[in-house]
Homo-oligomer: A and B are copies of this chain.
């Protein structure tokens, strides 16, 4: 219509594009080909120094910012790692995410986070979204997932790391420890101290499988030692105020020792005990899980279990980064577990 369209000339497509400096712009400015710019960016040592400096100057002058989206498409795989945790409000996970992000950034990987609020369906949705980014790896928390999630992951052929828990059916790689053992160790300590009644305080045990396992380990060990121990739980989050509430419930039927599913809950117990003039550990022994920063500062200091959080993050990062390094070796086809262990930290509270 508007052009001499006899041969095959088409009206020029109006294509919206990001108005941004592209690699070709840089190439033009540096008077080299786009491939050379690309090569320089990916492997600077492969281009001559003369060209390198010219390209670098053009990049700086134009303020070129590479487009990972295009890069990811061309290279069949993006440089993101998707990390999915139950909750960022939980100090364990926010710390792990933070550390992981730091470590992965060194390897040139970006971290995409998602949180499931302890819902397996939500997890499935997040995994689906994550896979849409053709991620370099997917990191999940725990080893319980619904069937769809598992299938999605398996057929995607993406490296998967499950962290903070061991003992399930591993998809690809798992880094963590046994929560049941944690519960047993705490129980063992109470038993050794000769306490004759105990309770386990837990929040959201129906969704937080790891906390539930700790409670089970605790109760089992207690029972095996012939000590009465009961479980007091609710479905509110594991907060200090919920610790207060749960402890109030325990008090209706007092016990000699309390194990909490984590330190935050224990802090609530401590405060409420102070309010009730209950002396710790003389009248009530208290233990937590996590060894969060405040645990050692509490009055009295809190007996707790320290998971090797940093070790977990490091190991997970390693699982993701290593395969990249060894290009010629294919991923080991066998699921692997890495036990990072934990430490009982005995302090004055119980």
Task: Mark A residues whose CB is within 8 Å of B.
Answer: 16-20, 63, 65-70, 72-73, 76-78, 80, 87-89, 91, 94-95, 97-98, 101-102, 105, 110-115, 117, 128-129, 131-134, 151-152, 155-157, 239-241, 243-244, 264, 267-268, 271-272, 274-275, 293-294, 296-299
B69 and A78 contacting across the interface, CB-CB below 8 Å:
yes
List residues of chain B with CB within 8 A of the CB of A274.
299
> Closest CB-CB distance, A295 to chain B, in whole Å?
9
List residues of chain B with CB within 8 A of the CB of A133.
68-69, 110
A63 and B112 contacting across the interface, CB-CB below 8 Å:
no
List residues of chain B with CB within 8 A of the CB of A70.
73
- A114 to B109 Cα, complex, angstroms: 11
List residues of chain B with CB within 8 A of the CB of A68.
132-134
B88 and A95 contacting across the interface, CB-CB below 8 Å:
yes
Q: Nearest B residue to A20 by beta-carbon distance? A: B156
Choose from B19, B69, B98 the contact partner of A87 (Cβ within 8 Å). B98
Q: Nearest B residue to A148 by beta-carbon distance? A: B63
List residues of chain B with CB within 8 A of the CB of A19.
157
- A268 to B241 Cα, complex, angstroms: 18
Q: Nearest B residue to A18 by beta-carbon distance? A: B76
List residues of chain B with CB within 8 A of the CB of A91.
89
- A76 to B87 Cα, complex, angstroms: 32
The 8 closest A-B pairs by CB, nearest first: A240-B294, A88-B98, A94-B94, A68-B132, A69-B72, A88-B94, A239-B293, A18-B76
With A132-B66, A268-B297 known to touch, is A112 a contact of B115 (CB < 8 Å)? no
Q: Can you name 23 A-B residue pairings with CB atoms under 8 Å?
A: A20-B134, A65-B131, A66-B132, A69-B78, A69-B133, A80-B112, A88-B94, A89-B95, A89-B98, A101-B114, A102-B117, A105-B129, A110-B112, A110-B129, A110-B133, A111-B113, A113-B113, A239-B293, A241-B296, A244-B297, A267-B294, A267-B297, A268-B297
Task: Supply 7 further A-B pairs (C-beta < 8 A) apart from A69-B73, A69-B134.
Answer: A20-B157, A63-B152, A69-B72, A88-B88, A88-B95, A101-B115, A112-B112
B76 and A134 contacting across the interface, CB-CB below 8 Å:
no
> Closest CB-CB distance, A300 to chain B, in whole Å?
10
Q: Nearest B residue to A65 by beta-carbon distance? A: B131
List residues of chain B with CB within 8 A of the CB of A272.
297
Q: Nearest B residue to A293 by beta-carbon distance? A: B239
> Closest CB-CB distance, A301 to chain B, in whole Å?
9
A16 and B76 contacting across the interface, CB-CB below 8 Å:
yes
List residues of chain B with CB within 8 A of the CB of A271.
294, 297-299
